[in-house]
Structure 1
Amino acid sequence: MPRWKELPSELPERERQLIVQLRRLKDRSGWGLAALAARTGYSRSSWERYLNGKQPVPLAAVEKLAQVCGADPTPLLVLHEVAAEVRETRPAPASGERPAPGEPAAPGEPPAPAGPEPSPAGPEPAGSEPESEPSPAPEGRRAPRVVPVRYALPAAVVAAVVAAGLAFGGGLLAGGGGGDGDGRAAAARTYGPGRTYDCEFSRKDGGVYAGHSVSREVLLDTNASGRDVVEAQCLLRRHGFDPGAVDGLYGPSAKAAVRDFQTARKLVADGIVGPDTWGELRR
């Protein structure tokens, strides 16, 4: 698993969840950024900005990534829709501050330029850099606002995916549940401050499980929540690393414990639980 940079702290939660899912999808594909660029038509530098939270990910790029990775795009598109809604309702920056790329400068104003995107007519060669910024509109004339075309999803689909997926930061693309009645019951729980969970360890198929998730691939990073986080917290405690309360919330204490565990196991100490870390936790 590559060593991802920590996402900006000011990034909205829904946008963070979208990027975590996109990172996981890329990791599972096994492709580098150059290979991803060759397959999607978006340059390597564009994907570097998208996957590190430097620039909002275009809807078409999300759909293309899911397509080339053979994944169902619906959960990602729902996450993108929710993230875009949150982004549009954020308050305008204070006077004198420059808005982040892609965000409106003020109500009714066009969004700040986010840099050019490749033409949908054909893929951009891997490793190429985006073209220079477009020339500003002539003085006295307002540049036309480009309104993105939203992916039309039935309200029932949006409600179901948001309710079942967004609350559990790990499981839209590669859910960790076993698919039985216990898994469905665990998915229905609400994870939040003040709630803690027991760890019931058992060994099967050559691995140790704590009774909350059977995942070996779900990517867990800051602000993730759900049964996969509970499972990781239990396994960390079993190995002698204190993640804080076993509450299903991946906060600073859990991340610090993961870093210490990764260092002890000679893994990349980035504080992100991925396939390599899961493999060691299951021992």
Structure 2
Amino acid sequence: MSRYKALPAELDPCARQLVERLRQLKDHGELTMRHLAAKTGYSAKSWERYLGGTSLPPREALEALARITGADPVPLIALHEIAADTWGSGRARTAVAEPHPTTGKQEQVTLTGPTTPHTTTPPAKAPAPGRFPHIHIALTAGVVALAVALLAALLLMLRLDEDITPAAVAAPPSTAAASPSPSYTCRISRTDGRWSAGINEGRNDEIVYGATGADVAEAQCLLRRAGISPGGIDGMFGPLTLRAVKTFQQREGLVVDGMLGPRSWKALRG
């Protein structure tokens, strides 16, 4: 399970429950920040803020996480709607631009932080009893009316901010959908006593955890041929592929280091 920093003390209970649920889905799916960025369209830095409780994730990000982990999105959306109404209490919002991990385009992310305490204007001295009572009443009524108008304007600004921010953050998924991750197909064959999946042209380059590309997909196909599931054939050396490599190395009597070097490749290719 990943180690997370303690959530901000000022975080609302509903928002805290939402963030804790997101952390559980990430850990249950054995997903890294890199996987989240590749499969949801939101950058790894954005997910660090979402899971750290410093930024409210957009609804589309919740739906994407639920989709890739097989979770029901309805409870997440319900928590999100409640948290959105209270997220800004005692916290200021700042929009920052951040490059998307695959397209390089700038995406808008809303950060939150403690607001500067408001200063109050000292009340005006009341006139002496018996002197100009009608002026005192008029001034009091004017101050009350001004305070009500300022409060209404502030509430309107907060509502507009909540309506606009999700739309700005929701843009990256459409661009990410235009650039899907490459797909690989296993074409298992045996030539001169060596197994091949027909993906990386028979290379035996060393690959380690976190690597991506055709070499990883070739190894995933050969692990599956050997009867050990690496997860999907997606070309990403993630937790499931790492576990499959270690299981294969232990079964073949090799050094169990989770790295595919010359000896592991030789055993995979038979």
- Pairwise same-fold verdict (TM > 0.5): no
Bigger fraction of residues in strand: 2
TM-score bracket for the superposition, by shorter chain length = 0.3 to 0.5
The normalised TM-score by structure 1 is: 0.37
Q: Which has the higher contact order (CA 8 A, sep 6+)?
A: 1
Bigger fraction of residues in helix: 2
Structure showing greater radius of gyration is 2
